[in-house]
Chain A
Amino acid sequence: MAKSIDVSDLNIYYGDFLAVEGVSMTIKARSVTAFIGPSGCGKSTMLRSLNRMHEVIPGARVEGKVMVDGQSLYGPDVDPVAVRRSIGMVFQRPNPFPTMSIYDNVLAGSRLNSRKLSKADADDIVERSLTHANLWNEVKDRLGKPGQGLSGGQQQRLCIARAIAVEPEVLLMDEPCSALDPISTSAIEDLIHELKSDYTIVIVTHNMQQAARVSDETGFFNLKAAGQPGHLVEFNATKKMFTNPDEPATEAYISGRFG
């Protein structure tokens, strides 16, 4: 089910502005890949281009290749909606649908697409996804309550449950813990470890300790100078990145001498 992603020579533009330049990397299946780097260096843009979410912003476009298991994401006959169905995403701020209960939020992927589900199947998906997201025990008695009544950390786990309920092949996470307290963060990091066995996970984070804790491989993005496009400085196994990086710039960033 989980798939690997090959990126080669990817340039991402907003209108005429080149935001990210010349990225090539291979993201392995069933592993956690972290993107780190200073603000504005294009990590989130890069992440969003992996499921064509950046196209939501008017004028955004991409040059280069992104291949998921040998299929190009940017081929002329590729439907972005189909891409997003198989590559799920969790956002920085928890965003459960305010009009829906916890139960319906988990089923949102099916409900919004008007897919018919039997009651038993629906119950099964809800329980499985919430259990997977470590939220089942906290909410099983109030599935009919609005999703926005949960705490921030619970809401974020609800969003993760919602994303995995549609059984994507890849899960993209855009700073999923930046709005959360340490306890909720640790719950989500545990969750990432568990999800790794089934999904390919790509996570953007500002927190280098978090990258070191959860990821198998890490990509470091940086800007050459303000106003210049972001680029990938180094992509390596996380252990190597944090002990003996190839690039001096990476070491400077990770050791706190810079940025």
Chain B
Amino acid sequence: MSSTVALSHAKLPRWAPALVGVVSLAAAGLPAMLLGWGLFAWLVASVLLFLAALPGWSLVVEGRRSAVDRLMTGLVWSAFGVAVLPLVWLIYVVVDQGAQAINGEFLTYSMRGVIGDEQGGVYHALIGTVFITLAATVVSVPIGILTAVYLVEYGGRSKLARWITFLVDVMTGIPSIVAGLFALALVVLIFGPAFRMGFGGSIALSLLMIPTVVRSAEEMFRLVPMDLREASYALGVPKWRTILKVVVPTAIGGVITGIVLAISRVIGETAPLLVVAGATDGVNFNLFDGRMTTLPVFIYSQYAQSTPAGYQRAWGGALVLIAIVMLLNLIARLLGKLLAPKKA
């Protein structure tokens, strides 16, 4: 025998995975039909069959390395399916249930004076969510970004910087109800026990937002190459202008994405808002006086009514909330793309 290494070997046809997939579905379908399994059990059985059959076939024809490759590929795809399935299912259910509740009146009327099965609306909760979240963003973004600038550009390895990093990490873990109680205590301390205002909710939400904003902005600022800062210093540009005109613009796309993720994270908070901002049936445009309802609180209170109309309105509110989060994410992606450094 010469010492030539064989460079080619037998391969399964390209349609092999598809064939095994169909056969597995069919094979698992037989006991599923006979024993009356549900859709879920049938899918799980098919996947298990597929994961055994394709690598087995490959082992016979292609050899061990290819068989392991096919097994791992199959596992990765299965894990992907497990991760994505609940998400798709959730969106499907919310859209399916919520779409029935959505109509012009639902979006433009509040719940004031609505009794029993009468048509009500989310308008007041929509206003509440937009105002409270916006105010929370206005409070947290400057604090978060300036903290990140300090940590990256000035703090270095100083004690203060390490303490701030530690405290930000701790803040990330604050249960939202604790943030709510803190904001309530603050509002009560200043304005008296019976006082409620939407801005109190914003304070609670900013406590939850700030650590996320700090962390993501810090990551993005650290990604800006030192070369660019040096190039700017070497042109006789002071440090503060370098930060403002080189570091921040270079990182802005990622920073905005981080901010929007932080917003998406807090826009669905219920507990702290129920505590501080309270709940109301009517529209309130004043952030600084009176109770304000947000969408999650609206969903919660409608669900708590335990009537068909209440459930219906809760699903409708959930769909509106998801639509808002989706819209925010799209806007963030668009801004990120528009503001990111361009390549030719």
Contact = CB atoms under 8 A, between A and B. Distances in A.
A166 B236 contact: yes
Contacts of B249: 99
Given A95-B228, A112-B246, A114-B241, A149 B344 contact: yes
B229 interface: yes
Interface in B149-194: 156-157
Contacts of B76: none
Given A146-B342, A148-B343, A56 B233 contact: yes
Contacts of A95: 225, 227-228, 230-231
Interface string A92-114: 01011111000000001101111
A51 to B, nearest CB: 7
A113 B236 CA distance: 8
Interface in A123-181: 145-146, 148-150, 159, 162-163, 166
A41 interface: no
A84 B156 CA distance: 23
A86 B236 CA distance: 8
A65 interface: no
Contact of B241 (A85, A97, A112): A112
Query: Which of the four size classes fits the interface of chain A?
Result: 20 to 34
A88 B235 contact: yes
B344 A146 contact: yes
A163 B233 CA distance: 11
Contacts of B327: none
A166 B234 CA distance: 11
B250 A99 contact: yes
Contact of A91 (B157, B227, B236, B341): B227
A116 B233 CA distance: 19
A99 B235 contact: no
Interface residues of B, number: 25
B231 A81 contact: no
Nearest to B226: A56
Chain B interface, >50% SS class? helix
A112 B230 contact: no
A60 interface: no
Contacts of B238: 81
A81 B236 contact: yes
A162 B233 CA distance: 13
B344 A84 contact: no
Interface in A67-102: 81-86, 88-89, 91, 93, 95-99
Contacts of A109: 235-237
B301 interface: no
A192 B343 CA distance: 29
Contacts of B250: 97-99
Contacts of B342: 98, 146, 148
Contact of A84 (B225, B228, B236, B341): B236
B97 interface: no
Interface of B: 156-157, 225, 227-238, 241-242, 245-246, 249-250, 341-344
Interface of A: 51, 53, 56, 58, 81-86, 88-89, 91, 93, 95-99, 108-109, 111-114, 145-146, 148-150, 159, 162-163, 166
Given A95-B225, A109-B235, 13 more contacts: A84-B235, A88-B234, A91-B227, A91-B231, A97-B232, A98-B250, A112-B241, A113-B235, A113-B237, A114-B241, A145-B344, A148-B344, A149-B344
26 contacts: A56-B229, A56-B230, A58-B156, A58-B157, A82-B236, A84-B235, A88-B234, A88-B235, A91-B227, A91-B231, A95-B225, A95-B228, A98-B342, A109-B235, A109-B237, A112-B237, A112-B242, A113-B237, A114-B241, A145-B344, A146-B342, A148-B342, A149-B343, A162-B235, A163-B234, A163-B235
Q: Top 5 nearest A-B pairs by Cβ distance?
A: A149-B344, A85-B236, A98-B341, A89-B234, A95-B227
